[in-house]
Structure 1
């Protein structure tokens, strides 16, 4: 088999996946087909020997193409949302694969919501939540850090779920738990800390925070309680993207965000985030002065 034929065959193996990605991103059969065709053109002009993971490479390429198309679309406000909905024109023939995609998770209602997102939010949400692409791979596509890409997807997820606000009861409970955690941390109350932590709790620090000397990963209730006992003296209770968390600031400028995940009344995860891109985009409101 000639190399060109081999490459074309490999591309065809990925075509359905690429069309599904593009359709979820663009909401238009024709635009999805255009994006996939453009990805083939770019592949045919590349050196296949330099590509370790063809499927991942193609997903990245089609993601970038869709991102450019979405940005162009937003620069032309005269185009209506309906032009990019899954409604077929009279002359179009239904495509079984795209109809399956639409029935799965891209109905008209979702597409309308997706249209309200920024192109970067839409791409981060689609690639991560629908296709399980890790944020480390999404970040270079949107030109952000992994932490900032995670923030884009989180913001998009709240809008897509139609629930940008956290239920009051859950929000109040999270605030109580985080406030108690900070108090126990400052006072060095190891037993109190242990009581509020899930046995399998995990603490993760991004690269920016790790560069300040923090451990990148701490796992287990005892280790996490020891890690925070007698610390968090300068951290202040805050709303982090609508949920109670904590912020350490220097001269009024946030340096580290502590994002908490609560499960069944206990702290299951703490993320310490200090990436500049993330800090610029995160919605932070200091509660405790």
Structure 2
């Protein structure tokens, strides 16, 4: 492959990963899709490509649609609550820009799971990546009116379930610090101040790590659970605060592996949701 063609692909690699990850909710699967897109880009006649970004996006979206159809079958047999594979990127990464981070949150990705694959693709392309309907129709191989219907149905299904979380990162990280300290010391009063009365805790162990088999509702039950699982963390483990899917979060690291990732949903200065991923298969790609 000519160096210029490789450089063109690398220029769009991060963006393509962002599209694939939002489509698939899996960093590992998104990486596989991007690699396959690179192979197809390498073999494509250059005379057929007017706009590399659009061409590559079409490849990625169609590969994701194929993957989604098989992924939905796998998730039907998943043990316990299912959460997306967490994504940890540098704070300066463009993916963490406020306008994109909102579409990266674990909460938003969970809502997207309710959509049919074509609805998810059309919705993301239009409302997140700001493609016009003529472009979306070309990418999906559908008529423009059909794409408008896909986006409309997706918006109706997402509706109010897509909650906007606080964007003040400094405040969020301070709250995360207090959350970690309160959990580790068993400070119930502090946790009552930090958590909303109707907070929900989701834990994803996939049958391979300790986790609640159902969501936990309410502050009192959530606090008991959070304090209990924190007490099980080995004394040799380290706790690192970071952004998990653009949200204030925490990684628990044991040795050279991340064993738990936690993302906090924060609205009006209180935690309304705690999403805990402990399934080792979903954490393997995160660097400690």
* TM-score, length of structure 1 as denominator length: 0.49
Which gives a bigger RCO, structure 1 or 2 (Cα 8 Å, sep 6+)?
2
- Is the radius of gyration larger for structure 1 or structure 2? 1
TM-score of the pair, normalised by structure 2: 0.50
